[in-house]
């Protein structure tokens, strides 16, 4: 790592009960989870070793076993073979997102590389193994960097076909129970896509969800009898609903249509159960139905939080998931459907913090310029105040701030710094109309929402209006730079992590498979230069006065290092205080625990230095 700046230690004495490392002493997990065929084991990727490696554990609990020992590679996706002997996984190096495919014996051994193409992305299907265990399905952009093709590979003889290829971003999803068909998807944008069904006997494929306008169609699991498959779609409505596509009559029927997004769906291979989650104002609600009776199972709900990674054991009697809570980091749970009992497999909160000392957020809504009310999670320190507050802006921008544990947030609260985490226009979870408001409007209406957030905070009697900070990564980094450059009077300090500073250079440098999306998503960097530059923080850099801390991964393929370089250089020319830390072995975010710990500890110290001093 290279770094230069003034020290980030606080000049004020410590105000809290704990040190930063205690809040950060929590294992993290990649969004992947797989059961062994007999349901007795689960595999997952966690950073317990300092890097995200592959681990195996009994689904009844007990000691976990580390299967890989990577230091510079990150295990991202996992799938257990049908015979239980092998685990297939994808991993990239230094966060470069060029995922390669590997096989490893499930009981332990050395991984064998299936691909070795350091500038090619490989993405496993949601269910990549054919039922006979001979063939795997994945997507790759090896033929043409701007396209992603669906690839079928025989594990004995090599590639056997590309049923979807050319001119689009395709992804593989799941094999039918008889192995004769494969669902796939065509991704056109975050709000538009189609499901394809590939016939493997004849090699033909067809889109079964053709539509006009923008609508999401994301394929889910097959029915156990192969008659069709479940899918999530917002076609004809504002929120994602759960539907079933019957292939015999080529028609869809709605299964669940709540006035919130159905977020995940899983079906047991034995045909007994269907499970899904609903995102209700940021929190998850789990539902499980008996497919034999049609009745919902009267199961105990997990604690309040966010559920992800719904996965049935092959026999269907167990349901695995990840659960993140407001005052407890993500853990892996298994629900025994026959017993109706929860089993927490992992216990990764290691800092010795009493959860009673942590702060749960309040869900608030504040008014903005066009009459909308912006949902946000407000974290208030204990005491009377007045307190400084950090505006924490999520990435995406089509993403959602949710009530989950964040070590940095809880540390700031322990030090007497509040946090407001809004879901401004463009956020997911509030319908596609709200989500679409960010399209071709980066630095437009969203900037007004950030100003409204600052004004809302300044109106709270426990907030010191002169001590506001702003923080964010990726799009949140762009928003942070926009705030300090275009709304400079509100902020006393800012931390930007991998944020674009120039929308023209950003749009030109994104990964090749993203480039066809940029004109609709952000703007055309060839024909709309003036528009994009007017919205770019680099064009308003002369207005920045708040001390700024910029953190960048040198291997970032999404927001390249040049985005941070150019704004730091301009600020240093003006003599504005700026700290710039570059992590040479990281990409778009952190894969190494030591790097993440240092970066967030330094960010916390930066806010302490500038917000806790008078």
Mean pLDDT of 238-259: 97
Q: Across residues 41-50, what is the average pLDDT?
A: 96
State residue 10's pLDDT score: 36
Strand partners, 496: 472, 550
What pLDDT, on a 0 to 100 scale, did the predictor assign at position 465?
A: 97
What one-character-per-residue DSSP string does 465-520 give? EEEEEEEEETHHHHHHHHHHHHSGGG-SEEEEES--S-HHHHHHHS-GGGGGGHHH
Are the C-beta atoms of residues 300 and 340 closer than 8 Å to each other?
yes
Instruction: Please count the CA atoms within 13 angstroms of the CA of 198 that sit on its side-chain side.
Output: 25
Q: What's the whole-number mean pLDDT along residues 132-140?
A: 96
CA 74 – CA 94 distance, rounded (Å): 8
For position 577, what pLDDT does the model report? 87
Q: How far apart are CA 319 and CA 312, in angstroms?
A: 4
Condensed to tens digits (0 to 9), the pLDDT of residues 526-576 reads: 999 999 999 999 999 999 999 999 999 999 999 999 999 999 999 999 988
Omega before residue 226 within 30° of 0, cis: no
Beta partners for 229?
222, 245
Is pLDDT above 80 for 380?
yes
Is residue 33 within 8 Å of residue 75, measured between CB atoms? Answer: no
- What order do you get walking across the sheet with 261-267 strand by strand? 261-267, 273-280, 283-290
**Mean pLDDT, to the nearest integer, of 435-445?**
97
In which element (H, E) is residue 525 found?
Answer: none
**Is residue 1 scored above 70 in pLDDT?**
no
Task: Name the 3-class secondary structure at 106.
Answer: coil
Instruction: Burial-class residue 385 by CB neighbours within 10 Å (0-12, 13-18, 19+).
Output: middle
Cβ neighbour number for residue 567 with a 10 Å cutoff: 26
Q: State the pLDDT confidence band at 302, using cuts at 50, 70 and 90.
A: confident
* pLDDT score at 614: 65
Report whether 502 contacts 563 (CB < 8 A): yes
Give 77-88 pLDDT, tens digit per residue.
Answer: 999 999 999 999
According to the model, what pLDDT value does residue 30 have? 95
pLDDT tens digits for 175-227? 999 999 999 999 999 999 999 999 998 778 899 999 999 999 999 999 999 99
CA distance 452 to 366: 8
pLDDT digits (tens, 9 = 90+) for 274-294: 999 999 999 999 999 999 999
Contact at 8 Å (CB) between 401 and 282?
yes
Which residue in 333, 352, 321 sits closest to 22, CA to CA? 352
Distance (Å, whole) CA 215 – CA 177: 28
> pLDDT tens digits, residue range 104-126?
999 999 999 999 999 999 999 99
On average, the pLDDT of the chain sits at: 94
Q: Say whether pLDDT at 9 is over 70.
A: no
Q: What is the pLDDT of residues 581-595, one digit of tens each?
A: 999 999 999 999 999
Q: Which of 67-71, 401-405, 572-576, 604-608 has the lowest mean pLDDT?
A: 572-576
- Give the mean pLDDT of 248-258: 96
Instruction: Give me the pLDDT at residue 277, please.
Output: 97
Q: For 249-273, what is the mean pLDDT? A: 96
Q: Is the pLDDT of residue 266 over 60?
A: yes
* pLDDT bracket for residue 2 (50, 70, 90): very low
CA distances from 324 to 305, 327, 336, 594 (A): 5, 9, 19, 22
Cis previous bond, 104, omega within 30? no
What domains, with CATH codes, occur in the chain? 2-22+352-611 (3.40.50.1820), 28-344 (2.130.10.120)
Instruction: Please give the share of the chain, as a percent, with pLDDT higher than 90.
Output: 91
Query: For residue 15, is pLDDT > 90?
Result: no
Q: Using a pLDDT cut of 70, give the percent of the chain over it.
A: 97
CA distance 439 to 460: 32
Q: What is the mean pLDDT of residues 375-390?
A: 96
Distance separating alpha carbons of residues 492 and 501, to the nearest angstrom: 20
Q: Going edge to edge, which strands form the sheet with 493-497?
A: 2-4, 578-583, 548-553, 493-497, 463-473, 387-393, 418-422, 373-379, 362-367
Q: What value does the mean pLDDT take over residues 455-469?
A: 98
């Amino acid at each position: 790592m290279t770094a230069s700046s003034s020290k980030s230690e606080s000049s004020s004495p410590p105000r809290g009960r704990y040190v930063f490392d205690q809040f950060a002493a929590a294992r993290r997990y990649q969004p992947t989870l797989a059961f062994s065929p007999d349901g007795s084991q689960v595999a997952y990727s966690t950073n317990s070793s300092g890097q995200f490696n592959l681990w195996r554990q009994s689904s009844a609990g007990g000691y976990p076993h580390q299967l890989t020992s990577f230091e510079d590679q990150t295990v991202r996706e996992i799938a257990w073979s049908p015979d239980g002997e092998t685990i297939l996984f994808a991993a990239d190096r230094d966060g470069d997102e060029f995922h390669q495919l590997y096989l490893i014996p499930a009981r332990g051994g050395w991984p064998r590389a299936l691909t070795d193409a350091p500038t090619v992305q490989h993405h496993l299907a949601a269910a990549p193994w054919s039922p006979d265990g001979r063939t795997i399905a994945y997507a790759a952009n090896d033929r043409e960097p701007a396209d992603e093709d669906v690839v079928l590979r025989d594990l004995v003889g090599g590639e056997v076909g590309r049923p979807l290829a050319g001119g689009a971003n395709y992804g593989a999803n799941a094999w039918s129970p008889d192995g004769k068909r494969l669902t796939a998807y065509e991704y056109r944008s975050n709000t538009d896509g189609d499901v394809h069904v590939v016939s493997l006997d004849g090699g033909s494929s067809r889109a079964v969800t053709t539509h006009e306008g923008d609508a999401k169609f994301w394929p889910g699991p097959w029915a156990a009898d192969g008659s069709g498959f479940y899918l999530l779609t917002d076609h004809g409505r504002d929120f994602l609903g759960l539907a079933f596509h019957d292939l015999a009559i080529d028609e869809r029927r709605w299964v669940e249509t709540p006035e919130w997004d159905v977020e995940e769906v899983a079906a047991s291979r034995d045909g007994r159960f269907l499970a899904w989650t609903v995102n209700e104002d940021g929190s998850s609600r789990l539902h499980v139905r008996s497919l034999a009776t049609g009745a919902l199972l009267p199961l105990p709900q997990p604690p309040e939080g966010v559920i992800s990674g719904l996965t049935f054991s092959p026999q269907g009697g167990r349901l695995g998931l990840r659960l993140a809570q407001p005052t407890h980091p993500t853990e892996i749970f298994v629900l025994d459907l026959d017993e109706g009992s929860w089993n927490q497999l992992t216990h990764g909160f290691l800092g010795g913090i009493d959860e009673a000392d942590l702060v749960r957020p309040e869900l608030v809504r504040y008014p903005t310029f066009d009459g909308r009310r912006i949902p946000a999670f407000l974290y208030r320190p204990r005491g009377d105040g007045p307190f400084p507050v950090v505006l924490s802006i999520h990435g995406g921008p089509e993403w959602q701030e949710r009530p989950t544990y964040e070590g940095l947030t809880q540390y700031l609260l322990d030090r007497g710094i509040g946090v407001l985490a809004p879901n401004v226009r463009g956020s997911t979870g509030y319908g596609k109309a709200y989500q679409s408001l960010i399209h071709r409007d980066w630095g437009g209406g969203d900037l007004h929402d950030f100003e409204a957030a600052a004004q809302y905070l300044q109106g709270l009697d426990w907030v010191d209006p002169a001590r506001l900070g702003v923080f964010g990564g990726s799009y949140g980094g762009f928003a942070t730079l926009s705030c300090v450059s275009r709304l400079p009077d509100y902020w006393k300090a800012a931390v930007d992590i991998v944020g674009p500073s120039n929308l023209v250079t950003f749009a030109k440098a994104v990964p090749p498979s993203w480039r066809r999306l940029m004109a609709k998503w952000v703007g055309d960097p060839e024909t709309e230069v003036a528009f994009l530059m007017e919205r770019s923080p680099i064009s308003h850099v002369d207005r920045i006065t708040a001390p700024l801390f910029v953190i960048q991964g040198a291997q970032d393929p999404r927001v390249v290092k040049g985005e941070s370089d150019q704004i730091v250089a301009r600020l240093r020319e003006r003599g504005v205080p700026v700290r710039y830390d570059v992590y040479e072995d990281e990409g778009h975010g952190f894969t190494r625990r030591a790097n993440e710990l240092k970066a967030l500890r330094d960010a916390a110290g930066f806010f302490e230095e500038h917000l806790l001093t008078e």
